[in-house]
Structure 1
Amino acid sequence: MSVYKTNTGWRVEISFKDASGKYRKKGKRGFKTKKEAEAWAAEYSVTNGNPTLKKGTLTLFSDYFDEYQQLRFGAGLKENSREAWHAVRKFVVDVYFNNTTLDQITRQKYQAFLNDYSKGMKRKSVMKRHQIMKQILMQAFHDGLIPADPTYGVIIPGAESKSADEKFLQVDEFNKLLNYIEKSDKLIKWRTSFMIYLIALSGLRAGEALALTRDDIDIDAHTISVTKTKQRSGESTTPKTKSSVRTIAMPDRFFGNYKKFVNSKSEWNDAKELFDGRRWATINNTWLERIEIELGFENIVSVHGLRHSHVSYLLSKGVDINYASKRLGHSNVTITQEIYAHLLRDKQQSEETKTLNILDEID
């Protein structure tokens, strides 16, 4: 195939075998862009006879990705899902498959990408990127642009995630963190540490906490209303699921400190957000990790780990799992049971001792 520019636009000429096996030539001129000329050549070759020229040899993976991504976005995706697609475009497509045509992505090339990308990554994170890439390449296969799905049978590498007992604080650590913040007026009045405090006592998701406004806090009723979540764009949208819209009862200890926090703020944004429009919890995670190390905690958890710690603490104290599930905003209790099947070690040891005592008492 040859593509070149003329005075009247772009011209393309191709050679191919027709259905009878004879070589033929075909040309066309007048295309406004080189890309249009190449696209016509590809389309003509795959629809005439038994061509040697395949459309997948002319289609850049990045172009096909963008086209499929727009279709997905048009079908309606929440912002966090859109961000996941944008991340794949930036950190995978642009880095590993720049200027790569569809037919050049073999299983070996794709596995090599996974092996390199997974360095220093959790397997779960690599899997999330792979699932989006797999959607694209499977669609290309079903569209007839490539002869095989290069993601079939690949191995997803990466480090294993933390075990269940490392995702949350132990009872004494949980109490120590709350006391550490409560004993300092400076920390109660600082939005970074106060958000840590709020999540520990409420079990909110970070996005739900970031979206809170003064109107969501009912001091008289001692409740927090969860009706929205903060996206990375700064927009507050409806929560993750319908069951995430909920009202959470809060302990007395929270509201005394909440008043200190509110009274210390000299300025509020138009929405009266508690955390002044902050979009993500990066600063909170950094501060929390430093304090956990300083206090000598066995497990170093993230802000999301505080959500796990909150519920695990309640379950260890005998709170019904059905109530805990509703407090978290889970769509059903099965999700809660799967996540928190592994209770705090303190609870496990207590239940084991209780069981043995009961069995020993049998006449």
Structure 2
Amino acid sequence: MADKRRRDKGDGGISEHRTRAGPRFLIKYAVQREDGTTRVVLKHGSVNRRDAAVALRAELRKAELGEWVEPSEQRLDACLAEWTQTQRLSPSTRASYLRSIRLHIDPHLGAHRVTRLTGPMVDTWMRKLEATGRADGTGGLAPRTVRYVFTILRSALGDAVRQGRLAVDPTDRATPPSPAEARPPEMQAWTAPELAQFLLRWADDQDPDLTMSWRLLAATGVRRGKALALRRRDVDLDAARIAVRRSVEVVERKGAGEELVEGPTKTGQARVVDLDAGTVAALRAYWTARGQLTPDLVRDTAVVLSNLDGSHRHPERFSRRFTAQVARARRALGEHQLPMIRLHDLRHTHATLLLADGVPVKVVSERLGHASATITLTVYQHVHPGMGRQAADRFAALLES
């Protein structure tokens, strides 16, 4: 039966209607759009008149404060496609976002209207990714990957709320994997004897060209992409230092394959890393050998750790070649002589050896390019217990002297 009560103009209205589930109440109110036009809004679903009145007051209050958001028909996949085009991202980050959206968000949530997404829907989606989310159908995604994909969705919907296109961000009510669950794999590091055994007593006999690459990464702690982007003009052997100015990354585009893209570092600023005498000598011998092949490999613009045709090495293949060399070394030297590590663990090895030898954290942090020494302390806290014992012993020695 229709509601006979009258309200003042602008107060909206409530009416009763019949459904299979019983009586329900509809609210009706008018709001003014940004362009000056008026829209009449109808909302169904209240189970009693009191709930309808509460909902009506809430909507009118939003309209009065300018917080009312016009319901959108836009699907999530269209929203995400539009959002990624507006973000200021590096080519590799943009490619990573697009791939994650294409593989892990669009197939599950893309067809839903953005305004119809809820926290439980987002939770159900994440649990499905954890169980069966791998694109190759072999199982679920790691919590770290699920959390990464969730942060992409959260960023996009958070922007929609800030822009007034969405009233509530459903990811605020969702439960992604916790930071503890999404911890990266445990880092590994070689001891100084293990590193020396690999670089000086095994790898150099196998492939001197690649050994220079492993040595430079181990001696500087520079990340893979930045090392592969070093050019001859970035290396000052007389001053025994390198300038890290750019990075090379793999960008994968749907339907276009892979592309190696060289760009600036995240900060856009160069940092200088000092070299030890042994690495300087190794670089001099390396350039002498390369110069005998062709002068193009030692020009100022030449890529230091390039392929023999002067092109950038593919970062992922570069990592695989390191893994293959370590595996061969383990078979030749004995697995107990050399733990298995990844290429990135050369960076951890560099930092761990310096910290364990008492080099100040600030110095190590600057060599690694960390934004602050706090990051270094957090990442390498496993080194600190031994350092703390060493400090205590030194203090005791001071008292006895």
For 2:118, the equivalent position in structure 1 comes to 106
For 1:38, the equivalent position in structure 2 comes to none
1:290 aligns with 2:324: yes
Partner secondary structure for residue 345 of structure 2: helix
- Greater shift in the superposed pair: 204-213 or 290-299: 290-299
Partner secondary structure for residue 273 of structure 2: strand
Q: Deviations over 1:126-184 (max 9, x none)?
A: 322211201222344556665643212322238543576x3433344333332345541
* 8 Å CA contact 1:211, 1:228 repeated in 2: yes
Aligned counterpart in structure 2 of residue 58 of structure 1, from 56, 73, 77 = 73
CA drift at 1:188: 1.6
Aligned counterpart in structure 1 of residue 151 of structure 2, from 108, 131, 134 = 131
Partner secondary structure for residue 155 of structure 2: helix
For 1:156, the equivalent position in structure 2 comes to 176
Residues 291 and 97 of structure 1: is their aligned pair in 2 closer, same or farther, counting only changes over 3 Å? same
For 1:261, the equivalent position in structure 2 comes to 286
- Which structure would you say has the larger Rg? 2
Residues 149 and 246 of structure 1: is their aligned pair in 2 closer, same or farther, counting only changes over 3 Å? closer
Instruction: Percent identity, please.
Output: 19
CA drift at 1:200: 0.7
Alignment of 1:86-97 (within 5 A): 86-97=98-109
For 1:25, the equivalent position in structure 2 comes to none
Q: Distance in 2 between matches of 1:51 and 1:318?
A: 70
For 2:95, the equivalent position in structure 1 comes to 83
For structure 1, the 5+ residue unaligned runs are 1-17, 23-42
Residues 335 and 63 of structure 1: is their aligned pair in 2 closer, same or farther, counting only changes over 3 Å? same
For 1:70, the equivalent position in structure 2 comes to 85
Partner secondary structure for residue 85 of structure 1: helix
CA drift at 1:231: 3.4
For 2:248, the equivalent position in structure 1 comes to 230
Partner secondary structure for residue 152 of structure 1: helix
State the number of aligned residues.
315
For 1:241, the equivalent position in structure 2 comes to 267
Q: Distance in 2 between matches of 1:102 and 1:341?
A: 42
Alignment of 1:198-209 (within 5 A): 198-209=216-227
* 8 Å CA contact 1:241, 1:331 repeated in 2: no
Q: Distance in 1 between matches of 2:323 and 2:204?
A: 19
Code of the residue aligned with 1:232 in structure 2: it is: V
* 8 Å CA contact 1:188, 1:257 repeated in 2: no
Residues 354 and 219 of structure 1: is their aligned pair in 2 closer, same or farther, counting only changes over 3 Å? closer
1:170 aligns with 2:161: no
Residues 47 and 232 of structure 1: is their aligned pair in 2 closer, same or farther, counting only changes over 3 Å? farther
Aligned counterpart in structure 1 of residue 207 of structure 2, from 171, 187, 205 = 187
Higher relative contact order (CA 8 A, sep 6+): 1
For 1:5, the equivalent position in structure 2 comes to none
Q: Deviations over 1:220-270 (max 9, x none)?
A: 33222222222335343322226x622222122223432443324735579
Q: Deviations over 1:256-288 (max 9, x none)?
A: 432443324735579411224436521232233
Partner secondary structure for residue 230 of structure 1: strand
Q: Distance in 2 between matches of 1:132 and 1:178?
A: 40
* 8 Å CA contact 1:210, 1:277 repeated in 2: no
Residues 353 and 334 of structure 1: is their aligned pair in 2 closer, same or farther, counting only changes over 3 Å? closer
CA drift at 1:212: 0.8
Residues 160 and 139 of structure 1: is their aligned pair in 2 closer, same or farther, counting only changes over 3 Å? closer
